[in-house]
Structure 1
């Protein structure tokens, strides 16, 4: 598989007060998927180092790429800058041609410079006319049939940034010590990043400790006082990030707080870009990194997301797509990538939070995991601090589909914390949309024979109704509570054998009217009601028997599973199957529990919502909970 590997070797330190975005070159170790993020076309160029490229005569190299083009629309909208400078150091005779694009992807030549000999090429470019989006990029063409060398390049501001580049970078970790150490090594090996990181905080919440790993001590000696490892019980992502923020605010010179996941693959320049964007922002804001696919490095998995403030579900912003592969659809040929998008929040795989925001907004809520980043983004925006997810600032992260969250204990936190976020940030007249969506989805999981999922969603609703006091006090035991709810109806699972294949059409020999999805919302509701009645009845006829079909995840829609007596559904990554079987006694029990819990939710939500809002300040406080001393 085409795996991205982080840069190795030393990188020249540049003037961090003016560099917005350094030009990144593939180096001698880059994989094909990574190259497509750096160069649109190589023209036969070779880059043995991260800062030096040799361009053969007669070829043009284009830097119209996700990581090297300049997202002018975002800088024009959010920063204090009205001009930027492209700075290159070139050896040889070459033409530098700068392009600019509009929000709909139409491109034109903005500047053209002919360079001779060895020296700097500096081109000033205005940030006007980018109201809705657009990029700058450049091409380099050797002249006179001679090779040309590019020694360095960057997009710069004309004046130093306000304030200081002084960051505390932090990541919680839970039994992923090797991933954590890999990220630490990347930070350690980048002098420009080391120069602005005042402290690297690792919050270790697992039993397989980072400090016990081979190679840790050498890293610790290298970092010296820059490194702080905090050992604490497993308080989830929210508890880990709260510790990071608390420790960051204890560092007087800290101006930026950077949250990172422990299982990312890091391009260190992206952290420098995020810090620069935060410093040049016209007003304080959160700078989010976008998500690239760790399994397919050339794929932009998530560009940014919105939250539906009625049903509290995720939405894809207009003019964006999931799973965009730059190796097959480069930036120049993808018009939607040129339009600026706005987001509701940014996940904490990487997010830069200015100190002033943390001081005024507070810390993450004690949610353990799921929705903590969403809630923080919504809270920050409500207090005047928006979130911007900036192209070219990104990390590689495991895609969500590999986690298979519908079939494990994390469903509990999705359910409970979604309600908490809605209580704090939703309007009461919109509650019916949230209620209807949650009940509908729970019943669909029920007819899909995902009994563990239904139990977890019900537990989440019940625990939400216990109010904010229970939310805080249960943080140290939240993981175990969710696991117990899952174990009530834990499914039978098994590995997928190489010789096994799912059904070809996902419906077996089912009648066409059953295999096809309901055509309208009314038809869907009627079909769901029919299947709820059928699920309460004894298994008979076509629902009985032990020869359960094998379905892929894509094939296992609720309306298909509802018509079966059972099925073995393959996990999204194809590694194992989960057995789903019709069990009328369990079905009736969970249906009753679901109707009771949602009935209570409908009656008690307004009162419970008021409780959460009255306790908002306590929930946001960084003084809870008590944390063990660092090691």
Structure 2
């Protein structure tokens, strides 16, 4: 039995066309977006062993029992197709060739090429034009034995909050390319748009297999919980739920490849999450992450690091199994979850926003399936430091995750929050310290606090604490090196001792500052004690958008915040066992359909 596994695709937007090397390399050609065909000039050589159009043989063989593979191309003109494959020799790509096939077509015709059996990581093809050549499309096909195909009902659950342009564009693309097309998956494909902002015209958007659900603004956690519930209760129920962010650019082909992967997964991968990669919207050739991990320091990281997906080395390294971190998760910008895992493990915790995807991955402990070409584009996070999110949500929520028992034992969330509070006091960022204190005290309120629908209210209050950055030219007399500002300075032993005893001059020190002038520092949660020591004023600089804000020592605010923190932390240490028990006892209810239906009022 033969199955179409991947289509050969071309960029379907001007932004992606500007990054055409994700689709093909070498001779650029001229792409007709309306007629969806690529014209290649005489004597040009175009390489389709690219991020979007190569065939990840190593992954298809690992995740499925695929047999012989063949390539079908729709072409006109005269030229040659050369079959190629690549593997890594430690870090260097090694190219192999598997034959050259001539074609000479006056009109559009199919060229059907069986790909020889081989052990390469990825395989692809190059077209050498011996006249003007037009490529109309093509596909990779794989062979499977009868009975290997699984019954799959795939449901997309995307939650949106006033991102109408993104969501309507993405839904239109999925409708055109899958639901309204002659596609064998469309009967088993559903879309649920959870509208937290209630700004979409549901009547206008609703159509066959696409439903908009107006929803309370319960954050990403509530939106995805609603999408999961709708997917599990649709008729027929989804076998897999694909969680997708709203402010992303998608390729419908990524969804199609996800569906075909699910249809032939080996038994050992039936519980796996398919984790689509996040590429940067502002630099579209760069992959930010496909699988994430949590460090022992309670910080999050990409498992593989930043890859330029127009380079062969990155293309191949990306198909290797990531290593170095054992505690992994899949970001919910594109994460496909088996429905039986949701029924078994439950719905998200009501964290409103941030860390809900991390907790779910840590709770389920799945294997992760990744593949070149299964991806979305999302705006990167550089320059987007936000106290309401990064100092309240990202301190409170790890404490909850730790208390319910999902956090790895090597990760000490309370110690992370304690150090975060201390670092903000030392850099005179009192608003940030206040939000961390609020996060800690709200956590101490126990699980009942999270059963109250107040996430939007909390965010609105906390946003008022965000610093007001101004253009850098407001400080013409302060010299800022935008490269070196990432670096810290060395401290002398006596400076370190003074810094620790006096909390950088905020206690037990009635004298003036040790150093004169305002010191430039990096703006986010980066800790630079060598820069801070001895100064009573700092200029926090956002390098990405060339803005800054002043921070000044305020001993009264320091004393008030420190006193309140010490009281709260003493309470936590005395009552830790009972606090943790209350969260663990409440967890089954907090992730249940019963709780979420009541919370969402559905």
Q: Is the 8 A contact 2:173 2:252 kept in 1?
A: yes
Counterpart of 1:463? 442
What is the rounded CA distance, in whole Å, between the counterparts of 2:13 and 2:494 in structure 1? 58
The residue number in structure 1 matching 2:430 is: 451
Is 2:599 aligned against 1:624?
no
Q: Which residue of 2 aligns with 1:227?
A: 210
Equivalent residues of 1:539, 1:582 under 8 A apart? no
Greater relative CO, 1 or 2 (CA 8 Å, sep 6+): 1
In the alignment, the residues of structure 2 paired with residue 290 and residue 523 of structure 1 have an alpha-carbon distance, to the nearest angstrom, of 47
Preserved CA contact (<8 Å) 1:260 1:349? yes
Shift of 1:58: 2.4
Pair 1:79 & 2:64 matched: yes
The residue that corresponds to 2:55 in the other structure is 70
Deviation of 1:90 after TM superposition, in Å, equals 3.4
Partner residue of 1:6? none
Q: Given the superposition, is the C-alpha separation of residues 316 and 170 from structure 1 closer, same or farther in structure 2, using an over 3 Å criterion?
A: closer
Is 1:493 matched up with 2:484?
no
In structure 2, C-alpha distance between the alignment counterparts of 1:350 and 1:380, rounded to whole Å: 17
Structure 1 position 578 matched with structure 2 position 549? yes
Deviation digits for residues 103-161 of structure 1 (CA, Å, limit 9, x no counterpart): 744323152141334432233355x757xxx322222223xx32333332222221387
CA distance in 2, matches of 1:470, 1:525: 40
Q: Following TM superposition, by how much is the alpha carbon of 1:484 offset from its aligned partner in structure 2, in angstroms?
A: 3.7
Show the 5 A alignment for 1:283-362: 283-284=269-270, 285-308=272-295, 310-317=296-303, 320-322=304-306, 324-326=307-309, 330-332=311-313, 336-341=317-322, 344-362=328-346
In structure 1, the residue matched to 2:401 is 421
Alignment partners' CA distance in 2, 1:609 and 1:125: 58
Q: 1:392 is paired with a residue of what secondary structure?
A: coil
**How far apart are residue 620 of structure 1 and its match?**
1.7
Q: Is 1:478 aligned to residue 449 of structure 2?
A: no
Distance 1:599 1:426, change over 3 A: farther
**1:400 aligns to what?**
381
* Greater displacement, 79-88 / 355-364: 79-88
TM-aligned CA deviation for residue 291 of structure 1: 0.6
Which of 13, 18, 25 aligns to 2:10? It is 25
| Mapped partners of 1:430, 1:298: distance in 2 | 35
Contact 1:258 1:352 in 2 (8 A): yes
Written as runs of structure 1 = structure 2, the 5 A alignment for 1:58-457 is 58-91=43-76, 92-102=78-88, 104=90, 105-109=92-96, 111-117=98-104, 118-124=109-115, 126=117, 129=119, 134-142=121-129, 145-159=130-144, 162-191=149-178, 195=186, 198-206=189-197, 209-211=199-201, 220=205, 223-253=206-236, 254-282=238-266, 283-284=269-270, 285-308=272-295, 310-317=296-303, 320-322=304-306, 324-326=307-309, 330-332=311-313, 336-341=317-322, 344-381=328-365, 385-405=366-386, 407-425=387-405, 430=410, 433-457=412-436
Cα shift at 1:537: 5.3
Task: State the aligned residue count.
Answer: 578
Q: Which residue of 2 aligns with 1:605?
A: 576
In 2, Cα distance between equivalents of 1:193 and 1:460:
47
| More moved, 246-255 vs 491-500 | 491-500
User: 3-state DSSP class of the match of 1:541?
Assistant: coil
Q: Is the 8 A contact 1:537 1:584 kept in 2?
A: no
Q: Is the 8 A contact 2:523 2:541 kept in 1?
A: yes
Assess, with a 3 A threshold, how the Cα gap between structure 1 residues 203 and 55 changes in structure 2: closer, same or farther: same
Aligned counterparts of 1:604 and 1:140: Cα–Cα separation in 2: 69
Q: For 2:372, what is the secondary structure of its paired residue?
A: strand
Shift in CA distance, 30/417, structure 1 to aligned 2, threshold 3 Å = closer
Q: C-alpha displacement at 1:518, in angstroms?
A: 5.4
TM-score, normalization by structure 2: 0.85
Match of 2:489 among 511, 516, 532: 516
Please say if residues 566 and 582 of structure 1, whose CA atoms lie closer than 8 Å, have aligned partners that are also in contact. yes
Deviation, 1:354, is: 2.4
Gaps of 5+ in 2: none
CA 1:175 to 1:300, structure 2 compared with 1: closer, same or farther past 3 Å?
same
Question: What is the CA–CA distance in structure 1 between the aligned matches of 2:17 and 2:494, rounded to whole Å?
Answer: 47
Aligned 8 A contact 2:277 2:374 in 1: yes
- Give the C-alpha shift of residue 443 in structure 1: 1.0
In structure 2, what is the Cα distance between the partners aligned to 1:506 and 1:146?
A: 51
Q: CA deviation at 1:586?
A: 0.7
- 1:253-311 superposed Cα distances (whole Å, 9 cap, x missing partner): 22321211111111121111222223322232111111111122222122321123x44
In structure 1, the partner of 2:566 is 595
Once the two structures are TM-superposed, the CA of residue 374 in structure 1 deviates from its matched residue by 0.8
Q: Relative to structure 1, is the Cα distance of residues 569 and 557 closer, same or farther in structure 2, using a 3 angstrom cutoff?
A: same
Aligned mates of 2:467, 2:15 — CA distance in 1: 42
> Is the contact between residue 265 and residue 395 of structure 1 (CA under 8 Å) also seen in structure 2?
yes
